[in-house]
Structure 1
Amino acid sequence: MPPKLETARLKHWLAWIIGLSAVFCSLVLARVDLDRMQMLALQRYGQQGAETVSQWRLMIENIQDLDDEQKLDQVNRFFNSVMRWRSDDEIWGKADYWATPLESMGRELGDCEDFSIAKYITLLLAGVDINKLRITYVKAQMGGPYSKIFDAHMVLAYYKQPNADPQILDNIIDEIRLGSQREDLKPVFGFNSQGLWIQGASTPSLQDPGARLSRWRNVLRRMAADGLGYMPTTE
């Protein structure tokens, strides 16, 4: 790839992290009750759902001491193998529904948002720094490099350093590639449990992304009921 072209693509992805260090209040996983989650999996989804959650818990335990790149690979492969892609309309009978990790694992189905959310939460539980993770909306090129058709898509981006080329976790492919290598993706906006960045803005939004993304706020609330609670903490 020509250096200038690679640099231009990288700048699209680096936009998300400029200024986000100014966030003064973060949200971290707390009040985590995986035993409750296990119980709910059995009640709602039967033995198969409970077994999937058991495998997930074991994976989290086994990868705690691995480096971040190994954690990314294990988590990406776990969800890409356990879950099958289906549209929200097929799964939930709704045009757009963000599932909790329990719902995704229980049904073993999800769309791109569900994959990204499940991977994000799992990596937090595995000890990955929240500042390195961004759930990112992108425009995905469909039909090859010369196609002019772009569909809305969601991926999880990992920034090893604030100015690093992010690694992209995608439900479409198992291989984790750098953002500059994903010629088919154009980032639109990114968020996590700390804040929201909108492409083209001069400064990031420092508000809770739930204030902008009602579905994000809703899924956080439902995750808390499943045993994955959140609480604010000052850094």
Structure 2
Amino acid sequence: MPPALLAHLRRLYPAIALAALVGGLPLALASADGARMEEVARARYGEAVAEAVRDWRTLLLGPDAVDEHERLSRINTFFNRRLRFDDDIQVWKEADYWATPLETLARGAGDCEDFAIAKYASLLAAGVPSERLRLIYVRARIGGPQSKLSQAHMVVGYYPTPDAEPLILDNLVSEIRPAGRRPDLFPIFSFTSEGLWVQGANTSSADPTARLSRWRSVLQRMRAEGLDLQQ
């Protein structure tokens, strides 16, 4: 990859936190209590959703010999195949609801945030180091290379090293591709389980602070369901 392009990608997909806005939420995913999640799933939604959680647990507890890139692929494929994409207004009767992985599995559907949060939490629970992952808000161009149309979208970025070009896990394009092969995505900002919001190329069209309460809420609900986020 040309050095100038790599430098551009590093600016667009920053791997270093620039603004810590959460305050008091230095969190890291310590463990996934699958038994607890099954209990919650069975009590709230019934046996079919408890079985979906068991499938999810099997995915996370896969063979130790599976390398990190294979874990990325399996988790990305699991959610892209299992979930149906739909707007929050259809799934939750709300304009913008951020669901936990359990809630998303229970509905069998979600929007881009729900796909991304489920993948991100699963990768952490599967042992991928938190410093290698970012949830990234982007503008996604729709309608082809010449299209002027775009929409707000969320993906997961995986950084093999701090300065590396990230790999993008997405529900729009099932194949995991380097950011350089996703010219349809224009990064805005990113954040992590540690509660750090990261300034991107342009924050004018999507204010991170406006979404902070939703992120706090989904972290708290995940903890109650068995995805334990601890200091």
Normalised by the length of structure 2, the TM-score is 0.87
Query: What is the CA distance between 1:13 and its match in structure 2?
Result: 3.6
Which of the residues 15, 18, 33 maps onto 1:17? 15
Aligned length: 220
1:199 is aligned to 2:197 = no
The offset of 1:29, in angstroms, is 1.9
The 8 Å contact of residues 210 and 217 in structure 1, kept in 2 or not, is answered as no
Judge conservation of contact 1:42–1:49 (CA < 8 Å) in 2. Answer: yes
- CA shift for structure 1 position 229: 2.3
Aligned residue identity for 1:124: L
How many Å separate the matches in 1 of 2:50 and 2:170?
25
Shift of the 189–64 alpha-carbon distance from structure 1 to 2, 3 Å rule, reads: farther
Matched, 1:169 2:135: no
Corresponding residue of 1:116: 116
Query: Residues 212, 142 of structure 1: CA spacing in aligned structure 2 closer, same or farther, 3 A cutoff?
Result: closer
Amino acid aligned to 2:141: Q
How far apart, in 2, do the equivalents of 1:108 and 1:157 lie?
A: 23
Q: Would the aligned equivalents of 2:34 and 2:53 in 1 still touch at CA under 8 Å?
A: no
Corresponding letter in the other structure for 2:103 = E
DSSP 3-state at the match of 1:128: coil
Distance 1:5 1:183 in 2: 15
Aligned to 2:86: 86
Overall identity of the aligned pairs, in %: 47
Aligned residue identity for 1:225: A
Residue equivalent to 1:221: 220
Looking at secondary structure, tell me which structure has more helix per residue: 1
User: What is the CA distance between 1:141 and its match in structure 2?
Assistant: 0.1
Question: Using the alignment, how far apart are the partners of 2:6 and 2:209 within structure 1?
Answer: 32
> Once the 2 structures are TM-superposed, how far is the Cα of residue 63 of structure 1 from its aligned partner?
4.6
Amino acid aligned to 1:197: V
**Structure 1: distance between partners of 2:36 and 2:51:** 14
What is the CA-CA distance between 1:89 and the residue it aligns to? 0.2
- Give the Cα separation in 2 of the matches to 1:33 and 1:7: 39
String of CA shifts for 1:120-151, please: whole Å, max 9, x gaps. 11111110000000000000001111111110
CA contact (8 A) 1:45 1:106 kept: yes
Partner of 2:77: 77
Q: How does 1:124-143 map to 2 (within 5 A)?
A: 124-143=124-143
Report what 2:51 is aligned to: 51
Summarize the Cα distance change of 1:12–1:35 in structure 2 as closer, same or farther, 3 Å threshold.
same
CA–CA separation in structure 2 for the residues paired with 1:116 and 1:131 = 16
Partner of 2:40: 40
**Is the deviation greater in 42-51 or in 102-111?**
42-51
Superposed, 1:146-185 pairs within 5 Å as 146-185=146-185
In the alignment, what sits opposite 1:29?
A: 29
Change (3 A) 1:210 1:140: closer
Shift of 1:115: 0.5
Per-residue deviation, 1:4: 7.2
CA displacement at 1:219 relative to structure 2 = 0.5
- Aligned equivalents of 2:183, 2:201: Cα separation in 1: 19
1:9/1:179 contact within 8 Å kept? no
CA distance in 1, matches of 2:190, 2:222: 20
Which segment drifts farther, 122-131 or 221-230? 221-230
C-alpha distance 19-210 of structure 1, shift in aligned 2 (>3 A): closer
RMSD between superposed Cα atoms in Å:
2.3
> Structure 1 pair 12/145, CA: closer, same or farther in 2 (3 Å)?
farther
Q: For 2:131 and 2:88, how far apart are their aligned partners in 1?
A: 29
What displacement does 1:19 show?
A: 5.4
Query: Amino acid of the residue matched to residue 193 of structure 1?
Result: S
Give the letter for the 1:54 counterpart.
R
